[in-house]
Amino acid sequence: MTLVSYFSPAGETARSEGDRKRPPTRLLPRPGIPGQRLLGPVLVLAAWWVSTSLGWVSPGKLPGPVAVYEAFIGTLSDGTLATDLAISLQRTGLGIVIGVTAGFLLAVLAGLSRIGDSIIDGNVQVKRAIPNLALIPLFIIWLGIGESMKVVIIALGVLIPIYINVHAALTSIDRRYMELGQTVSLSKSRFLRDIVIPASLPGFFTGLRLGATAAWTALVVVETINATSGVGYMITQARTYGQTELVLLGLCIYGVLGFTSDAVVRVLERRVLSWR
């Protein structure tokens, strides 16, 4: 086809027919299959079972899934696992509640006020650059080695992602909505309810997913510091006595808790933000 015929009506017809025959390019991901996120962990579990069953890995260094399951049944039967798990969940739950509340309030104050942004945002960015692990010695001096120190460290791990994502969502609100609120003379309470909260929800749920992961990461750290209970304490004791299957059991519990919390937040996000 020549250049002239390409731009001629006949050429346009040929090109349109060719375009119709060409399969459309898929830019968006296909709808997810229920339970597809379990495929990765299942494959890892299968590889673990095969490698230990065939003797590719020494059982002393990496016990198989059967040994870990037997350890799970044993600790569940004598009640130690239920006690340690309940304490770990309590610590994490308190830390998440405090971190989410503080992070959201700080983000609203900084996102809706220039003075608040000047005072709060810089301090949060400084804290963001300091890992929680570096703050543990200071908090031990201030709060001791009890539950308060552990909950505060977990809360700080949750606060940062909540603040960052909610603050970003608030500062990117379309100014037309702000002007509309002023035009119809919305009260401060209705402005928060009808404009601020809906605009902050996408960032809030993103921060909540990241914060939940950060909470479990912080829990692993604080429960290995002079703790007398919790899943981390169980792992520390197992390490002392060379019980590798209990160490792996504790790691599996952390992984299941993190995976479950992320899945719960995803479900809540889909339902709350179904209007998007």
DSSP string, the chain: --HHHHHSHHHHHHHHHHHHHSPPP--SPPPPPTTGGGHHHHHHHHHHHHHHHTTSS-TTTS--HHHHHHHHHHHHHTTHHHHHHHHHHHHHHHHHHHHHHHHHHHHHHHHH-HHHHHHHHHHHHHHHHS-HHHHHHHHHHHHTTSHHHHHHHHHHHHHHHHHHHHHHHHHTS-HHHHHHHHHTT--HHHHIIIIIHHHHHHHHHHHHHHHHHHHHHHHHHHTTSS-SSSHHHHHHHHHHTT-HHHHHHHHHHHHHHHHHHHHHHHHHHHHHTTT-
Confidence check: pLDDT of 252 > 90: yes
Structural domain includes residue 96: yes
In a domain, residue 2? The reply is no
In-domain check, residue 219:
yes
Helix axes 80-112, 65-77, angle to 10 degrees: 100
Domain count, the chain: 1
Contact status, residue 58 vs residue 181, Cβ threshold 8 Å: no
Distances (CA, A) of 198 to 55, 70, 130, 171, 172: 55, 48, 31, 13, 13
pLDDT value at position 181? 74
The boundaries of the domain holding residue 209 are 63-272
Whether residue 51 lies inside any domain: the answer is no
pLDDT over threshold 70, residue 7: no
* 84 part of a folded domain: yes
Average the pLDDT over each of 6-10, 109-113, 196-200, 237-241 and give the range with the smallest value: 6-10
Neighbours of 114 (CB within 10 A): 8
31 in any annotated domain: no
| 21 occurs within a structural domain | no
Mean per-residue pLDDT, 65-80: 93
pLDDT over 50 at 12, yes or no:
no
Q: What letter represents residue 35's amino acid?
A: G
pLDDT category of residue 6 using cuts at 50, 70 and 90 = very low
The CATH number that applies at residue 77 is: 1.10.3720.10
- Asked if 109 contacts 116 with a C-beta cutoff of 8 angstroms, the reply is yes
| Segment 106-152, tens digit of pLDDT | 999 998 888 999 999 999 999 999 998 899 999 999 998 889 999 99
What is the C-alpha separation between 252 and 72, in angstroms, rounded? Answer: 10
**pLDDT at position 30, please?**
61
Q: 119: Cβ–Cβ under 8 A, 6 or more apart, which residues? A: 110
15-19, 32-36, 100-104, range with greatest mean pLDDT: 100-104
Residue 244 lies in a domain: yes
Closest CA to 199 of 228, 176, 215, 220: 176
Question: In this model, does residue 245 exceed pLDDT 60?
Answer: yes
